[in-house]
């Protein structure tokens, strides 16, 4: 019996070894400098004026009765605050929730469209078709299945709420005082009609500008199941072309978004 058992295990191991094939879809990310594109969560994290902020409560910190060191915390956060994902369901019915966004939309080649000069001149600037076409006139058409990131320069103000958002006030009335750049609905519509992008991101609180009342750019992009990354950090450290982005959100079942850890890889020169 012992011999038969041994022979069975040997055949099983052999079969598993022979039949195993590495998946064909494994990708090798390029070597290079890793850039952290996420802000840390703490008491200074910026949230929408109507959203609760971040809290971190200590469950235990110190030496246990058994003599070893141990820490544990309980944290609470709204889905939409800090560096976070907007899942398409956030502004369009029957679209991907946070846990349904395909992973291949969250990682890949990135392009950075720099509109910081326009945003410095007008903090209500809405990124236009002309802004995108000006970038393309220099770099060529946005490659298919790119992650499209817009750099407004507003990351320099984090975590100063008033400088970053236009107001430090909280509550529903504060929403009317928001002042920051975003994507014009015409530009969002042009993108879905003329380009194939996997995701968009921006270094402001919203892909729609602060004075938006109908969040049309959200609606236009999310109808096509294009997710968004908001409050992206350190976009000044990414080149306009050539970087790779990996953006992995908290996998909240049925969620409309969630905290996002996003990094960029800048290839070695």
Which pTM value belongs to this model?
0.89
Report if residue 15 sits inside a domain.
Answer: no
- Convert the pLDDT of each residue in 58-87 to its tens digit: 999 999 999 999 999 999 999 999 999 999
| Pair of tokens at residue 122 | 């007008």
User: Whole domain around residue 165: which residue ranges?
Assistant: 32-51+78-267
Could you give phi then psi for residue 181, rounded to 5 degrees?
-75, 160
Report if residue 19 sits inside a domain.
Answer: no
Q: For residue 103, give the CATH number of its domain.
A: 3.50.30.50
The total number of structural domains in the chain stands at 1
DSSP-derived 3-state class of residue 17: helix
- Convert the pLDDT of each residue in 170-227 to its tens digit: 999 999 999 999 999 999 999 999 999 999 999 999 999 999 999 999 999 999 999 9
Report if residue 66 sits inside a domain.
Answer: no
Report if residue 226 sits inside a domain.
Answer: yes
Report if residue 193 sits inside a domain.
Answer: yes
Residues 6+ apart with CB under 8 A from 40: none
Residues 6+ apart with CB under 8 A from 175: 48, 49, 50
Long-range contacts of 103-108 (CB under 8 A, 24+ apart): 104/198, 105/198, 105/199, 105/226, 105/227, 106/198, 106/199, 106/227, 106/246, 106/247, 106/248, 106/249, 107/147, 107/244, 107/245, 107/246, 107/247, 107/248, 108/145, 108/146, 108/147, 108/198, 108/244, 108/245
């Amino acid at each position: 019996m012992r011999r038969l058992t041994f022979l069975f295990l040997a055949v099983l191991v052999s079969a598993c070894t022979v039949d195993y094939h590495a998946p064909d879809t494994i990708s090798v990310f390029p070597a290079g400098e890793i850039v952290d594109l996420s802000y840390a969560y703490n008491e200074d994290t910026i949230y929408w004026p109507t959203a609760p902020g971040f809290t971190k409560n200590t469950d235990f910190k110190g030496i246990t009765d058994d003599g070893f060191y141990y820490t544990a915390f309980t944290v609470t956060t709204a889905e939409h605050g800090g560096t976070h994902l907007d899942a398409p369901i956030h502004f369009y019915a029957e679209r991907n929730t946070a846990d349904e966004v395909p992973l291949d939309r969250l990682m890949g080649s990135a392009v950075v469209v720099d509109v910081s000069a326009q945003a410095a001149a007008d903090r209500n600037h809405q990124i236009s078709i002309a802004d995108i076409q000006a970038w393309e006139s220099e770099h060529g058409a946005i490659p298919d299945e790119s992650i499209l990131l817009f750099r407004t320069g507003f990351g320099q103000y984090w975590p100063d709420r008033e400088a970053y958002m236009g107001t430090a006030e909280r509550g529903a009335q504060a929403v009317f005082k928001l002042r920051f750049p975003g994507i014009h609905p015409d530009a969002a519509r042009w993108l879905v009609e003329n380009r194939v992008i996997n995701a968009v991101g921006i270094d402001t609180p919203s892909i729609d500008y602060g004075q938006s009342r109908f969040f049309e750019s959200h609606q236009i992009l999310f109808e096509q199941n294009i997710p968004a990354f908001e409050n992206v950090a350190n976009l000044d450290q990414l080149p306009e072309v050539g970087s790779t982005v990996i953006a992995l959100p908290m996998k909240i079942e049925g969620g409309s978004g969630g905290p996002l850890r996003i990094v960029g890889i800048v290839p070695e020169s």
